[in-house]
Amino acid sequence: MNCENSRDRRLLFLQGNEVCVEAALYAGLGFFAGYPITPSTEIGEQLSKRLPMLGGKFIQMEDEIASMCAIIGASLTGVKAMTATSGPGFSLKQEAIGYAVMAEIPCVIVNVQRTGPSTGLPTGVGQGDVMQSRWGTHGDHAMIVLTASNHQDVFAVTVEAFNLSETFRTPVILLFDEVIGHMREKLVLPEQGEIPLVERLKTSVKEGTNYHPYLPREDGRLPMSDFGGVHRYNVTGLFHDMWGFPTTDPNTAYELLHHLVDKIESASQRIARYNEFFLDDAESVLISYGASARSALHLVESRRAVGERLGLLELQTLWPFPAAIVRERCEHAKYIVVVEMNMGQIAQEVKKAVNDPDRVFLANRFDGNLITHRDIKNILRVIRGGGM
Amino acid sequence: MAAKDYLRERFMPHIWCPGCGHGIVLNNLVESIDRLGLNKNDLVLVTGIGCSARISGYVDFHTLHTIHGRALTFATGVKLARPELTLLVAMGDGDALAIGGNHFIHAARRNIDITALIMNNRTYGMTGGQHSPLTGYGMKSITAPLGNIEQAFDTMELAKAAGASFVARGTTYHVRSLQKLLTKAIRHKGFSVVEILTQCPTYFGRKTKAGTAVDMLQSYRDNTVPVGSEAKQKNPELIERGIFVQEERTEFCAAYEGIIQSSREGR
């Protein structure tokens, strides 16, 4: 919805799910497959209108698994492809996400989180899929997972998700939540070119010359050839050699798994996105992300106004977990309080990252309601030795 | 071109057991492609998991060996993104109609222009001979040691009811007509289903006492009849082969082009 009174046509007032759509189109989305599920449905709804207008493809598949597989197939033809879902649907997609990891096929998966497990609280907010986004599919692997707490950042991380998926030839997960997805706020739509876009790296190997789809260049990137192009090759979820042919050779298997993990883990500094607020002199550091970070920021700003040395580290990259940044920013903090809407999934990572895990506390809520600044304030008081 | 021009020698020898019918299917498929004069760059073969799924590795097309039961959904993504490509999907009976049954009926309902081969050996061969939805009542399997108490699907009725616009059945014994069926199926604009009865002497043959590969091929000769023949009316146990459905019906990707046109015209 445009702001009718605004002179600036780039100024929009949207739901987070709609912002995700705007950003995906900005990034060059050409194909979307999905299945209706609360609270992500608006993404598919919007794209069913927007994509055909741009000559893009939208399909509502028969289930969540089919949607995930369809975007992988589409991506192989050279288009940028995305699906969107929520908890139960995210569970169903896991096997195919692992396939995209193994076959190194760029794609973006949006999970607008609700409270789980199972059907849980379909309209309630939650952040309980943090670990599933990391380890949901079987086997060792690396995963890129991004999130955001406001619409300008939802836009930025969505574009970044496409960029990273193309750069690293890997599925990237956007882990939003119900509050972000359904909340309406302002978005200043970036101009074309304002945010750089990474396009599919295509092979320069000519027809008739051997093309090795799974032979990384010196910089670790793998130029692709589109299905339908002049290079015919095999894509498989089996361990494979540089031709894409299945192999059980232990050395090849070892090298491939290392490649799949290292290409992402070794770039974790570059992938790490975060915002920091009042950290320089903070005695207590809140660490949060997504909708929880809004309440955390609210508290930090109000306590700063009365002179309390409270700061916030807001994570936008959840995986690979930015452990070095967390460790460094929390070095001088007396208390580190992780604010999240689950039973401590990121808190455990923070404990692993910092030198003294006993300083790490959890301010959380997992009842389908948004954690408020009052909730955090009350927990802070207890941590500091005050009563409830 | 010769058959070998369509094959990847790098992948050979194939993994199929001696006597397996899948090689006959591969040979017929390649012959059909040659007869149709299709460019290899325009061909995409998608498979799932199982003995049948290995067929994708052996052909020199764009090949996508995916996960169990989902081959049609990957193929749907490729086809909708690039409708000018020719999509072939080869599945086993378990792959297509057990774990992939939902995708099968929905691909048929959409009438998306994909040719689906169901290589029906009535067993899960790769995992060692368990019964599939096409094994049939009373047959023994590794996981039905006292006999299967589940009825089989009739693939032709299922495909027809789900909306496939080309539905046919062939066997690895009737190789000439199989090649013709495949050629017609690939040429057909819409969702085409070709069920191919193909022998698995290693598991189905042993567990059900159907015998050797030759015994099973002979049973295809003796127990199948052309669709609509009088013999079937006299003996309902006979299995019909040939074309069951061949109809022109709106194809999904073509219909989607209409959506693009309408939305651009602001309708």
Indicate the residue among A241, A271, A301 that finishes a domain. Answer: A271
pLDDT digits (tens, 9 = 90+) for A212-222: 999 998 888 99
In a shared domain, residues A207 and A238 = yes
Q: Do A61 and B106 touch (CB under 8 A)?
A: yes
Q: Is B147 helix (H, G, I), strand (E, B) or coil?
A: coil
In a shared domain, residues A176 and A139 = yes
> Which chain A residues are within 8 Å of B264, Cβ to Cβ?
52-53, 55
pLDDT digits (tens, 9 = 90+) for A75-86: 999 999 999 999
For residue A133, which of A306, A299, A285, A315 has the smallest C-alpha distance?
A315
Question: Tell me, what's the pLDDT at A388?
Answer: 55
In a shared domain, residues A344 and A372 = yes
Residue A314: pLDDT over 60: yes
Mean pLDDT for the stretch of residues A19-40: 98
Indicate the residue among A271, A301, A323 that finishes a domain. Answer: A271
In a shared domain, residues A106 and A237 = yes
Mean pLDDT for the stretch of residues A110-118: 97
In terms of phi and psi (left: phi > 0; alpha: psi -120 to 50; beta: otherwise), the region of A321 is: beta
Q: Is residue A388 in some structural domain? A: no
B44 interfaces chain A, CB cutoff of 8 Å: yes
Domain count, chain A: 2
Residue A5: pLDDT over 70: no
Indicate the residue among A226, A255, A271 that finishes a domain. Answer: A271
Contact B227, B200 (CB under 8 A): no
In a shared domain, residues A249 and A102 = yes
Mean pLDDT for the stretch of residues A14-28: 98
Among candidates A72, A237, A238 on the partner chain, residue whose Cβ is nearest the Cβ of B77: A72
Alpha-carbon span A113 to A122, nearest angstrom: 9
Q: Is A331 helix (H, G, I), strand (E, B) or coil?
A: coil
In a shared domain, residues A249 and A312 = no
pLDDT digits (tens, 9 = 90+) for A30-63: 999 999 999 999 999 999 999 999 999 999 999 9
For residue B191, which of B118, B95, B93 has the smallest C-alpha distance?
B118
In a shared domain, residues A252 and A288 = no
Question: Tell me, what's the pLDDT at B68?
Answer: 98
User: Structural domains in chain B?
Assistant: 3-264 (3.40.50.970)
Q: Is residue A169 in some structural domain? A: yes
Q: What's chain A's average pLDDT?
A: 96
Question: Tell me, what's the pLDDT at A9?
Answer: 74
Q: Is residue A32 in some structural domain? A: yes
Shortest alpha-carbon distance between residue B10 and chain A (Å): 9
Question: Tell me, what's the pLDDT at A385?
Answer: 87
The residue range of the domain holding A172 is 1-271
In a shared domain, residues A19 and A148 = yes
In a shared domain, residues A267 and A280 = no
Residue A139: pLDDT over 80: yes
Contact A261, A335 (CB under 8 A): no
In a shared domain, residues A155 and A266 = yes
CATH number at residue A328: 3.40.50.920
Question: Tell me, what's the pLDDT at B200?
Answer: 98
In a shared domain, residues A15 and A28 = yes
In a shared domain, residues A265 and A279 = no
Residue type, A23: A
Shortest alpha-carbon distance between residue B220 and chain A (Å): 33
Residue A119: pLDDT over 50: yes
Mean pLDDT for the stretch of residues A128-157: 98
Shortest alpha-carbon distance between residue A57 and chain B (Å): 7
Q: Do B77 and A33 touch (CB under 8 A)?
A: yes
Band (A1; pLDDT cuts 50, 70, 90):
very low
Q: Is residue A104 in some structural domain? A: yes
* pLDDT beneath 50: ranges in chain B: none
> Which chain A residues are within 8 Å of B162, Cβ to Cβ?
none
